[in-house]
Structure 1
Amino acid sequence: MPTVTWARVDPARRAAVVEAAEAEFGAHGFSRGSLNVIARRAGVAKGSLFQYFADKRDLYAFIADVGSQRVRSYMEARIRELDPSRPFFEFLTDLLDDWVAYFADHPRERALHAAASFEVDTDARISVRSVIHRHYLEVLRPLVRDAQARGDLRADADTDALLSLLLLIFPHLALAPYVRGMDPILGLDEPTPEQPALAVRRLVAVLSAAFSPAKQPMKKEVT
């Protein structure tokens, strides 16, 4: 996270550093992004970056946090509008539809998510994905917990397994419709306009079949 010096930097300069870092990391990945390019685009000395952040990993984590917070703020507003008290898998379908649409309309956030997902350097990957996973889980865990409390999930459902699957599905749907080569199964490599919505419904159907309570058989009336 930033040093105390960062808080004293002019807001316009801070914004310039963030914008330059997001552009560079989104284009080249975190570990392969050039600090020289970031400094030049932001109009600061490269040494200044190390006054603002303890090291490269701190810069990676901060940029991942800034981008994740933008996505989270938008999706939390949509969650309130979609009414999370509805039946969980019905709500999840609509949420994933909005999720796919958000990344279609926000290429900068999509590029940063791709950079985090495809990062090859272990230290950089740990730095950025731990931040992104924190945001995911702080939003998704209460939704899953409340769904189980309402009876939308089996009482014995493994909610950690459900959360783990959601941590795979959300990033996949954020990127696969727009990044060739990610999805050879659900038709997202070369999607038609309706294909992402169809993929969402197939994935949610599998989750629902695995985690929904068993339907009680109808009792026959005795005549």
Structure 2
Amino acid sequence: MPTVTWARLDGERRRAVLGAAEEEFAAHGFSGGSLNVVAKRAGVAKGSLFQYFADKRDLYAYVTDQASQRVRAYMEAQIHALDSSRPFFDFLTDLLDAWVAYFADNPRQRALHAAASFEVDTDARVSVRAVVHRHYLDVLRPLVRDAQARGDLRGDADVDMLLSLLLMILPHLALAPYVRGLDPLLGLDELSPEQPALAVRRFVAVLAAAFAPVPQPHTAVPNAGGHSHV
């Protein structure tokens, strides 16, 4: 995370460094990203970057955290607007639609998400995925917990398994429409505006089948006259 020196920088200089770093890492990831390019675009000496951050990986983790916070703020606003107290799987369908739309409209956020997902350097990937997962789970866990408390999930549902599946589904929906070869089954890279919405509904149907309560059949109860009623 940033040093005290970074905190003392004026806002314009911080925005210049952050913008340059985002542009470089979005285009080339951690391994291919150049601090020389970041420094040149930001108008600072390369050595200054090491006064702001401990190393390249620290800068990359910070960039990822800032990007994740923007996505999180948008999705939290959507959660409020969509009313998360509705039946969980209806709400989840609308939330995933909003998620897909966000990444369709924000190519830099999409590129940063892809860079974090596909990074080949193990240490860097572990660092940035930890940041991304923290934001995911901070938002998703309360939604799932509340859904179970309302009875929208089975009482014995494996909540961690549901969260784990969502952690796989969300990046797939964000990236597969734009990364050829990532999705071999659902047609997400067909560039059809309807295809992501269809995939969302297929994902939600599978999750609902696995985690929603099983409807109980009505039992006929005999009344005092010997007749039964439902």
TM-score, scaled to structure 1: 0.98
What is the letter of the counterpart of residue 206 of structure 1? V
1:169 aligns with 2:169: yes
Distance in 1, matches of 2:150 and 2:201, equals: 22
User: Could you say which residue in structure 1 is the equivalent of 2:84?
Assistant: 84
1:52 and 1:172 map into 2 onto residues whose CA distance is: 33
CA distance in 2, matches of 1:85, 1:69: 23
Shift of 1:221: 5.7
How far off its partner does 1:220 sit?
3.5
Aligned to 2:159: 159
Q: What is the aligned partner in structure 2 of residue 128 from structure 1?
A: 128
Counterpart for residue 113 of structure 2: 113
Per-residue deviation at 1:31?
Answer: 2.1
Letter aligned with residue 173 of structure 1: L
RMSD: 0.9
Map of 1:31 onto structure 2: 31
1:215 matched to 2:215? The reply is yes
Q: Distance in 2 between matches of 1:127 and 1:16?
A: 23
- Equivalent pairs counted in the alignment come to 223
1:104 equivalent in structure 2: 104
Distance in 1 (CA, whole Å) between partners of 2:93 and 2:175 is 17
Tell me by how many angstroms 1:191 deviates: 3.4
Q: Which amino acid letter does the alignment assign opposite residue 78 of structure 1?
A: Q
- Name the residue aligned to 2:16: 16
- Tell me, yes or no, if structure 1 residue 5 matches structure 2 residue 5: yes
Confirm whether residue 196 of structure 1 aligns to residue 201 of structure 2.
Answer: no
Deviation at 1:218, TM superposition (A): 2.1
Identity %: 78
For structure 2, the 5+ residue unaligned runs are none
Q: How far, CA to CA, are the matches of 1:76 and 1:36 in structure 2?
A: 36
Counterpart in 2 of 1:57? 57
1:48, distance to aligned residue in structure 2 (A):
0.5
Deviation at 1:135, TM superposition (A): 0.3
SS of aligned partner of 2:103: helix
Compare CA radii of gyration and give the structure with the larger one.
2
Select between 149-158 and 212-221 the one with higher mean Cα deviation: 212-221
Q: What are the Cα deviations for residues 121-156 of structure 1, in whole angstroms up to 9, with x where unaligned?
A: 001101111000000000000000000000000000
**Deviation string, structure 1 residues 47-90 (Cα, Å, up to 9, x no partner):** 00000001112111100000000010011001000000000010
2:18 aligns to what SS in structure 1?
A: helix
